[in-house]
Structure 1
Amino acid sequence: MNDAELADRVATVRAFNRLYTGVIGVLDEGPADAEYSLPEARVLFELTQRDPLAVTDLRKRLDLDAGYASRLLARLESRGLITRERSDEDARRQLVRPTDAGRDAFALLNRRSTEQIGGLLRRFPDEDQRRLLTAMRTIGDVVGDRPRDPALVLRPPRPGDLGWVVQRHGALYAREYGFDTRFEGLVARIVADFAVHDDARQAFWIAELDGERAGSIGCARGADTDVAKLRLLLLEPSARGRGVGKRLVTECVEFARACGYRAVELSTVSILDAARALYRAAGFELVEETAFDGWGPELTEEIWRLEF
């Protein structure tokens, strides 16, 4: 990334920040007599979720320095919203609890926030709401703390999934390898075959990580009806290095074995090093190579095979 590209990206982030803080400002206005600041509301939220909570833990969760936290808690205590006490197990630790009045205050704030955000969402049609929420989840995934072990699910395609497979193949392979629209057209034809043929000896899987589509793979009947074909292995960049590709390949191979095929074949190209490593690790062997230039860059087409 050069300096000009970095400057453009910085400008985009700053423009988003201005837009988003403007939206948050509208949501935070509330009624004219709103009596709680944002830090006070955050403290009440944390305390109603974890009762009691040590002051040191509260400071870490909200990134507060000791002096500011002490003044903030003193204000809430003077209004009868919290109580502070020493821990029975360690007198050096101070515990904070919400009072009944504090719980009531948070319930009011929570209801008001729900109504305000609901009003914002209702300004947009359902499709735009889904796009907005997906974008928010993406930002959270990138800049937030990722879960150590995100839930991986392999499932059959649902309406819209096969179109996503075509679109993501086209976009990712164009960006990463320079493939042109002929490759996307090939993917569309393969996907169409899966969509129209109801065959108990073929299957297609969508991989999800924490509910988001992360990859795909298919198992189809080959020209030799005793040989299965592994098709359309795809991994989103965010899913790479998490074992998703290995799981997809294993699922396809085990399905082919259970269906009575005597082998699985696949076609790939030589520049797809990560995919080729997955195939090699699963026991596939390279059996044929042919020069190929059908998608833009000069390529070598490879046929890999796994015998049962």
Structure 2
Amino acid sequence: MTETTLQRRAEAVRRFNRFYTQHIGVLHEFLQKSPFSLTEVRVLRELTLGTASTATELARALGLDSGYLSRLLTSFERRELITRRQSEADARQSLLELTPAGRAAYAPLEVAAINEACSVLNGLSAAGQEQLIAAMRTIERLLDRLPPLAAASLRAPRLGDYGWLVHRQALLFGAEYGGDIGFEVFAAQEMAEFSRLSDRERAMCWIAEQQESVVGAAFVAPLSERAARMRLLYVEPDARGLGIATMLVEQSVSFAQRAGYDVLTLTTCGVLNDGRRVFERAGFHCVATEPERRFGRNLIAQTWERKL
């Protein structure tokens, strides 16, 4: 990545920050008239939800300085918004709880926050609302530092998934390997061929989701009466190393076994070396290697096979 490219992207981030900061200022008009700062409202909300019950948990959940949080909690206690009592499990910790006055103080702030968010959504069509929420989830997923074992789940495809997967995989292949539009044509043909299959006892697709965002996918379709092929396996770059590819491959192998196939194959390019360890752990063996010119690149086509 060149310095100019990084600077251009940094300016785009700054532009979005300015826009969002201004937008949030408009949204929090009610909050600006309340006796609480935004940070105080966040603390009250955590205590209302019961997701954090000690100062240590609050500081960790909200990313607050412990000294600043201590002063804020002392102010809440003085205003009779919270109570403290010593933890029976750890005498060094105090359990925090909102008083009836504290809950009464937070209640109108919660209602106002919901109304403000609804006012934003009401200005958009149903499709626009879904697009906005999806973009927000993407930002959360990319910027949040997920724990190594962040939960991922598999689901069946929904309306729009096939087209989105073609678009997304084409963009990723181009960005990571410099391929041309040929890969998008290939992915579209593969997806169209799969979508025409009607026997779901012999063909299946899995969409991997994490924090309600699509982070991967895999397809299994018949190659012959006794052989199946895994197609278009992919995992988002920021979600790699979390076991998602392994989960998709294992699910594909398990399905192929239940469907009565004798062998499961897949074809990949030599540039996609990250998948080698996943395939080998799942019992696949590389049975053929052939150089080819494809997608605007000189590639090494590899055929992997697993006996079932």
The Cα shift of 1:294 comes to: 2.6
Q: For the residues of structure 1 that align with 2:190 and 2:226, how far apart are their CA atoms? A: 19
The Cα shift of 1:91 comes to: 7.3
The Cα shift of 1:59 comes to: 5.0
Q: Which amino acid aligns with 1:208?
A: E
Q: For the residues of structure 1 that align with 2:107 and 2:286, how far apart are their CA atoms? A: 63
- 1:214 maps to 215
- 1:277 maps to 277
- Which one has the largest radius of gyration? 1
Q: Is the 8 A contact 1:230 1:266 kept in 2?
A: yes
Aligned ranges 1:1-308 → 2 under 5 Å? 1-30=1-30, 33-50=33-50, 53-55=53-55, 57-58=57-58, 61-62=61-62, 63-64=64-65, 66=67, 68-69=68-69, 72-73=72-73, 75-83=75-83, 96-199=96-199, 200-222=201-223, 224-308=224-308
Q: Which amino acid aligns with 1:18?
A: R
Tell me whether 20-29 or 257-266 shows the greater mean CA deviation.
Answer: 257-266
**CA gap 1:288/1:4 in 2 versus in 1, 3 angstroms:** same
**CA gap 1:54/1:189 in 2 versus in 1, 3 angstroms:** closer
Q: Secondary structure at the match of 1:180?
A: coil
Q: Which amino acid aligns with 2:279?
A: Y
The Cα shift of 1:283 comes to: 2.3
Q: Is the 8 A contact 1:287 1:304 kept in 2?
A: yes
Q: Which amino acid aligns with 1:286?
A: C
Q: For the residues of structure 2 that align with 1:262 and 1:71, how far apart are their CA atoms? A: 67
Q: Is the 8 A contact 1:51 1:97 kept in 2?
A: no
Q: Is the 8 A contact 2:53 2:95 kept in 1?
A: yes
Equivalent pairs counted in the alignment come to 306
Q: Which amino acid aligns with 2:242?
A: R
Q: Secondary structure at the match of 1:283?
A: coil
**CA gap 1:130/1:256 in 2 versus in 1, 3 angstroms:** same
Q: For the residues of structure 1 that align with 2:127 and 2:61, how far apart are their CA atoms? A: 34
TM-score (norm 2): 0.86
**CA gap 1:36/1:288 in 2 versus in 1, 3 angstroms:** closer
Tell me whether 203-212 or 167-176 shows the greater mean CA deviation.
Answer: 203-212
**CA gap 1:11/1:51 in 2 versus in 1, 3 angstroms:** closer
The Cα shift of 1:164 comes to: 1.9
Q: For the residues of structure 2 that align with 1:299 and 1:79, how far apart are their CA atoms? A: 69
Q: Is the 8 A contact 2:208 2:216 kept in 1?
A: yes
| Structure 2 segments unaligned to the other structure (5+ residues) | none
Which digits, 9 at most, give the CA deviation of each residue in 1:44-86, with x for residues without a partner? 22332349944455455552453x5565445444544334566
Q: Secondary structure at the match of 1:30?
A: helix
**CA gap 1:43/1:189 in 2 versus in 1, 3 angstroms:** closer
RMSD over aligned Cα, in angstroms? 2.8
TM-score (norm 1): 0.86
Q: Is the 8 A contact 1:205 1:217 kept in 2?
A: yes
Tell me whether 2-11 or 290-299 shows the greater mean CA deviation.
Answer: 2-11
Q: For the residues of structure 2 that align with 1:52 and 1:166, how far apart are their CA atoms? A: 42
**CA gap 1:23/1:305 in 2 versus in 1, 3 angstroms:** same
Q: For the residues of structure 2 that align with 1:247 and 1:3, how far apart are their CA atoms? A: 37
The Cα shift of 1:287 comes to: 2.5
| Structure 1 segments unaligned to the other structure (5+ residues) | none
The Cα shift of 1:90 comes to: 7.3
Which digits, 9 at most, give the CA deviation of each residue in 1:215-239, with x for residues without a partner? 22222221x4222222111111122
Q: Is the 8 A contact 1:269 1:302 kept in 2?
A: yes
**CA gap 1:230/1:36 in 2 versus in 1, 3 angstroms:** closer
**CA gap 1:70/1:268 in 2 versus in 1, 3 angstroms:** closer
Tell me whether 51-60 or 175-184 shows the greater mean CA deviation.
Answer: 51-60
